[in-house]
Amino acid sequence: MEEDRLLEPPDKGRRLMVQVSRAERFLLLLIILSVGCSGVKVVKEVDPLTPEEHLSLGYVYERRGEYELALEHYRKASASVPEALLAAGNLCYRTKRYEDAEMFYRKAMRHSSVAPDAMNNLAWLYCTLGKRLKEAEALIQQALKERPEREAIYRDTLKCIREKLGDTHLHR
């Protein structure tokens, strides 16, 4: 997601604050360079919320059914809170945005604190869709090795995968 920027005019007494996109910033810089404006500075807007607060807001918005706002806050938190990637993946799964869910789970798998749960959820996604079942089985086996204390949950996913694999073999 693009950062918003604030524009500060040369007159220190008054401030003009405008949110602009990346393309608008580019055009503005071209204009400034072409007409030779001096004293205009582009400064970064500081987010007043911590990543943990964004994650909490995401949960609140998700419970209220405001999924796009929830996803926006999960994305803002995800740079430093890996749980936000898992939450975003789960939200996308629930709203049937399966490609996005897969992307978030794969990103979450890069973080050891949530990797096993992300592997489980990605395996569950594949099982639900009936695709990439061998990969799903390998993912869940890895999750079982990394977090044996969650065996009951992960074994449920493994059972689903093996049932689907059995169904696949029966229909050949």
Mean pLDDT, residues 65-80 taken together: 96
Global pTM value: 0.71
pLDDT score at 43: 62
Query: 15: closest CA among 46, 36, 53, 41?
Result: 41
By CB atoms closer than 10 A (0-12, 13-18, 19+), residue 103 is middle
DSSP 79: T
Half-sphere exposure of 12 (CA within 13 A, CB side): 0
Q: Catalogue all structural domains in the chain, each as residue range(s) with its CATH number.
A: 5-44 (no CATH), 47-108 (1.25.40.10), 114-172 (no CATH)
Least confident among 1-10, 71-80, 100-109, 160-169: 1-10
Q: Which tokens belong to 20? A: 């602009």
Query: 55: closest CA among 37, 72, 34?
Result: 72
pLDDT score at 35: 64
pLDDT at position 39 over 70: no
Q: Outline where DSSP puts E strands in the chain.
A: 5-8, 41-44
pLDDT score at 48: 87
Distance CA 121, CA 115 (A): 10
Distance CA 92, CA 68 (A): 10
